Amino acid sequence: MVGLKSMLTFLIRRLLSSVPVALAVIIICFLLVRLAPGSPFSSERALDPATRQILETKYGLSGSLPTQLLSYVGNLARGDLGDSLKFRGRSVGEIIAQSLPRSLLLGSISFTLALLFGIPLGAWAAARHGRGADTFLNGLALLTLSIPTFVLAPVAVLLFSFYFHLLPPAGWGTSAQLLLPALCLALPFVGVCARLTRSGLLETLGADFIRTARAKGVSEQALVLLHALRPAILPLVAYAGPLAANILTGSLVIEEIFAIPGVGQFFVSGVMNRDVFLVSGVVLIYCLLLLFFNLVADWLTALLDPRISLSS
């Protein structure tokens, strides 16, 4: 019962603290898009001032910036993200509901691949600390961190699609079309997971309880997997929230390169066309996802580490 009470207190406190963060993100994003040069109606041909005024009034973009912002925040409080200025006849909520599942699928696969490859590589490097394998894996992890996604993805398409003809270069709908972008998105974070796991294991393997278990004759493999790995991955679990958010936001570039009809393409189009409601809606959804991922990461850290109290 005490655990349930602590959990509810933790959730309520974090949810309340997330409200001003989300509100600040909404205000900053809305103002930046509105203050940027250009107009969402600049692509219209020969718009006279009267027609422009009618369009701005229709979409709630007339009047001063504080008036526009208050109107937008009021619509958000009612669950209305507004209508897209670029994709006429479609609401922002409809666009996000259609495209976000594709981005989430790509991000979740990349997140899983980063953990599946990064944790074993980090554990293997820690078990061979100071040897050639450790040095090689450290260099490989540093290399994956140093290559930007917008460089890695075109090179991967060139090699695996046009040279070896193993995977399709773009598109959406089949597992083969999903594999290459998921790998390109996950690869930089494999290095992050490996380095965090390695450093956590090296610190844990020097603890007193590990020395006691080793003195009792526990094998090195059981020592790492059964005793040291759980406390060692706590830094990785704490980083899992920002990691998930980084993968999701990193998919914007991947979606453009691989022509994936996810949120990324609509977001880029919205920025280019000053679609204030579409850009603000996507940023708001990403902000809420980031807050949610951090909440889950903090909760998992408290579950794995008994020294951490949710109510503290």
DSSP letters, 138-178, are: HHHHHHHHHS-HHHHHHHHHIIIIIIS--S-SS-SSSHHHH
pLDDT average, residue stretch 108-129: 87
Q: How confident is the model at residue 182 (pLDDT cuts 50, 70, 90)?
A: very high
Per DSSP, what are the bridge partners of residue 83? Answer: 91
CB within 8 A of 140, min separation 6: which ones? 191
pLDDT digits (tens, 9 = 90+) for 197-234: 888 888 887 777 777 777 777 776 777 777 777 777 88
219 alpha-carbon distance from chain centroid = 38
Which CATH number fits the domain 99-272+289-304, given the four candidates 1.10.3720.10, 1.10.10.10, 1.10.540.10, 3.40.50.720? 1.10.3720.10
User: How far, CA to CA in Å, does 29 sit from each of 32, 145, 179, 270?
Assistant: 5, 29, 33, 12
Structural domain boundaries of the chain?
99-272+289-304
- Is the separation of the CB atoms in 45 and 291 below 8 Å? no
Closest CA to 289 of 52, 69, 22, 36: 22
Tell me: pLDDT of 1 over 50: no
User: Looking at this protein, which amino acid is placed at residue 115?
Assistant: L
Asked whether residue 309 carries a pLDDT value surpassing 60, the answer given is no
* 91 φ, ψ (degrees, to nearest 5): -85, 160
pLDDT band at 180 (very low <50, low <70, confident <90, very high): very high
**Length of the chain as a residue count:** 312
Which two structure tokens, joined as six digits, stand for 245? 């958010």
Asked whether residue 81 carries a pLDDT value surpassing 70, the answer given is yes
**Secondary structure of residue 83 in the 3-state scheme:** strand
**Cα atoms in the 13 Å half-sphere on the side-chain side of 75:** 19
Banded model confidence at residue 43, pLDDT cuts 50, 70, 90: low
CA distances for 157 relative to 57, 78, 255, 268, angstroms: 46, 44, 13, 21
Residue 33 has pLDDT above 60, yes or no: yes
Residue with structure tokens 């991947």? Answer: 254
What are the pLDDT digits (tens) for 235-245?
888 888 888 87
